[in-house]
């Protein structure tokens, strides 16, 4: 793992250098390090200190206290580390306008506007279409499984399902979903955990960012001329009414909903199947329900979050977990470790579908996930239908699971079931 200062009994903690067998189940590693120290400090490559925050209360503080934010420029008081290298203008514009990377006051203004447009009612109105999309995909999945005896759940359901739902929300053509997912995955190659693995990562992300910028600018122009019942029309309408919303922010919002929304839900669906397959009693219980109950949704995302870590920067000197954290330090809030903290969750390594309650899988504070309500609805409907469809196929077993090397967006890229 990366060089760090940690108790002598343990190797230094970091989010890189993990052996492949630990990627699918990082929780025993988190447990050992959290027991030793709830915050671990690193000094990577002689740069500003980096802190890995593993305890629930400490992570909650990092996510909610205004002294921690998303701007490295504000934190360092000068030239920040380059989030996006020079020469990638489309990617830089897109990322800098993502809600998740903004701080108040602009974050507050844009979040307030989006909350007025992306309401719970919008999600409620989508429920029928969400069910229709799931039913259609599952008909294709079961037909393939019956014909071949195997099926890749990621390819046939977990990945296309949220992309098609978000496409419906945004008002894009269903026939574009495969291309949109390809571009969304391309943009995500610029994340630090993935960029470290391929030298062309930012080139791939820049190309995808240019394609998506052109796509959504054209869609916004069409919606100005002919509004429809979709989120892009609502955003364009808000802009027309004089709301302080730029075209770049409309594009960035659409792309952010696609990239963050599809990958997180994909991961929850796939990992929930793995989790429940290993626990037959809980699996049978959910198969018998018409929908996945809300407490069960919360417990599944607590137990194995789709995003394992998020970053913040310290805007002034603070003390956290017994460490002096200098201004300009980078912090990784490790959500996966926080959600298994026994100081917050009794018996945290047990899946308890009645546990319910708030956890940190969707974040906390001003950056709480804008699409959390949509994600919950997709899991409630989509996972319930998926579990019953798999039951109708008869006995099956997990044949192959492959996790990409990524401890941020965490989930299998391939999950093959074989019928017995």
- Supply the pLDDT for residue 132: 96
Q: What is the dihedral of CA 357, 363, 369, 374, to 10 degrees?
A: -30
CATH 3.40.30.10 fits 20-419, yes or no: no
- Supply the pLDDT for residue 290: 86
CA separation for the pair 251, 232 (Å, rounded):
9
CA separation for the pair 36, 271 (Å, rounded):
28
In Å, how far are 124, 272, 316, 414 from 404, measured between CA atoms? 34, 17, 36, 9
- Supply the pLDDT for residue 4: 47
Residue pair 372/360 in contact (Cβ under 8 Å)? The answer is: no
Residue pair 235/217 in contact (Cβ under 8 Å)? The answer is: no
- Supply the pLDDT for residue 308: 96
In Å, how far are 369, 403, 406, 414 from 19, measured between CA atoms? 30, 12, 12, 18
- Both structure tokens of 347: 């018996």
- Both structure tokens of 64: 């909610």
Pair type for strands 50-53 and 39-42: antiparallel
Does residue 369 have a cis bond before it (omega within 30 degrees)? no
Query: What would the 3-class secondary structure string for the chain be?
Result: CCCCECCCCCCCCCCCCCCHHHHCCCHHHHHHHHHHCCEEEECHHHCCCEEEECCHHHHHHHHHCCCEECCHHHHHCCCCCCCCCCCCHHHHHHHHCCHHHCCCCHHHHHHHHHHHHCCHHHHHHHHHHHHHHHHHHHHHHHHHHHHHCEEEHHHHHHCHHHHHHHHHHHCCCHHHHHHHHHHHHHHHCCCHHHHCCCCCHHHHHHHHHHHHHHHHHHHHHHHHHCCCCCHHHHHHHHHHCCCCCCHHHHHHHHHHHHHHHHHHHHHHHHHHHHHHHCCHHHHHHHHCCCCCCHHHHHHHHHHCCCECEEEEEECCCEEECCEEECCCCEEEEEHHHHCCCCCCCCCCCCCCCCCCCCCCCCCCHHHCCCCHHHHHHHHHHHHHHHHHHHHHCCCEEEEEEECCCCCCECCCCEEEEEEC
- Supply the pLDDT for residue 287: 94
- Both structure tokens of 31: 């447990």
The Cβ of residue 120 has, within 10 Å, a number of other Cβ atoms equal to: 11
- Supply the pLDDT for residue 6: 47
- Supply the pLDDT for residue 60: 97
* Nearest residue to 213 via CA among 92, 298, 327: 92
| Close Cβ partners of 321 (under 8 Å, ≥ 6 residues apart) | 37, 38, 39, 53, 55, 58
- Both structure tokens of 362: 């969707």
- Supply the pLDDT for residue 103: 80
Residue 144 buriedness (CB in 10 A; 0-12 / 13-18 / 19+)? middle
Residue pair 180/173 in contact (Cβ under 8 Å)? The answer is: no
What does the pLDDT profile of the chain (420 residues) look like in tens digits?
444 444 457 888 999 888 888 999 999 999 999 999 999 998 766 567 899 999 999 999 999 999 999 888 888 876 555 566 667 888 888 877 777 777 888 888 888 878 877 788 888 999 999 999 999 999 999 999 999 999 999 999 999 999 899 988 888 888 888 888 888 888 877 665 554 556 677 788 899 999 999 999 999 999 999 999 888 998 899 888 888 788 988 998 898 888 877 889 999 999 999 999 999 999 999 999 989 999 999 999 999 999 999 999 999 999 999 999 999 999 999 999 999 999 999 999 999 999 978 999 999 998 888 889 999 999 999 999 999 999 999 888 999 999 988 888 899 999 999 998
Tell me the domain boundaries of the chain. Answer: 20-419
Beta bridge partners of 331: 51, 312
């Amino acid at each position: 793992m990366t060089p760090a200062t940690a108790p002598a009994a343990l190797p230094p903690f970091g989010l890189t250098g993990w052996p492949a067998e630990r990627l699918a189940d990082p929780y025993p590693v988190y447990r050992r390090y959290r027991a030793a120290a709830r915050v671990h400090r690193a000094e990577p490559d002689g740069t500003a200190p980096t802190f890995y925050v593993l305890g629930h209360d400490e992570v909650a503080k990092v996510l909610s206290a205004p002294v921690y934010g998303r701007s490295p420029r504000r934190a360092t008081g000068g030239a920040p580390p380059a989030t996006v290298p020079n020469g990638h203008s489309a990617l830089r514009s897109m990322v800098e306008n993502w809600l998740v990377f903004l701080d108040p006051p602009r974050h507050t203004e844009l979040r307030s506007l989006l909350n007025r447009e992306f309401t719970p009612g919008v999600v409620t109105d989508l429920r029928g279409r969400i069910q229709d999309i799931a039913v259609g995909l599952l008909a294709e999945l079961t037909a393939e499984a019956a014909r071949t005896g195997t099926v890749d759940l990621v390819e046939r359901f977990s990945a296309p399902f949220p992309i098609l739902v978000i496409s419906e929300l945004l008002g894009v053509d269903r026939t574009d979903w495969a291309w949109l997912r390809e571009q969304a995955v391309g943009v995500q190659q610029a994340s630090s955990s993935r960029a470290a693995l391929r030298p062309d990562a930012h080139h791939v992300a820049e190309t995808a960012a240019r394609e998506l910028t052109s796509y959504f600018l054209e869609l916004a122009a069409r919606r100005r001329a002919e509004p429809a019942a979709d989120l892009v029309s609502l955003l364009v309408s808000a802009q027309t009414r004089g709301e302080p919303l730029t075209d770049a922010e409309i594009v960035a919002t659409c792309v952010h909903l696609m990239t963050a929304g599809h990958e997180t839900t994909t991961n929850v669906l796939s990992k929930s199947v793995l989790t429940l397959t290993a626990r037959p009693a809980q699996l049978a219980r959910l198969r018998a329900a018409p929908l996945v109950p809300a407490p069960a949704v919360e417990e599944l995302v607590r137990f194995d979050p789709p995003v394992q870590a998020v970053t913040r920067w310290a805007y002034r000197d603070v003390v956290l977990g017994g460490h002096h954290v200098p201004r300009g330090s980078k912090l990784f809030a490790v959500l996966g470790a926080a959600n298994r903290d026994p100081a917050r969750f009794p018996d945290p390594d047990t899946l308890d579908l009645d546990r319910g309650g708030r956890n940190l899988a969707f974040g906390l504070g001003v950056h709480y996930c804008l699409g959390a309500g949509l994600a919950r609805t997709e899991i409630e409907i989509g996972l319930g239908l998926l579990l019953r469809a798999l039951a109708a196929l008869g006995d099956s077993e997990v044949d192959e699971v492959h996790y990409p090397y990524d401890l941020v967006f965490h989930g299998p890229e391939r999950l093959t079931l074989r019928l017995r």
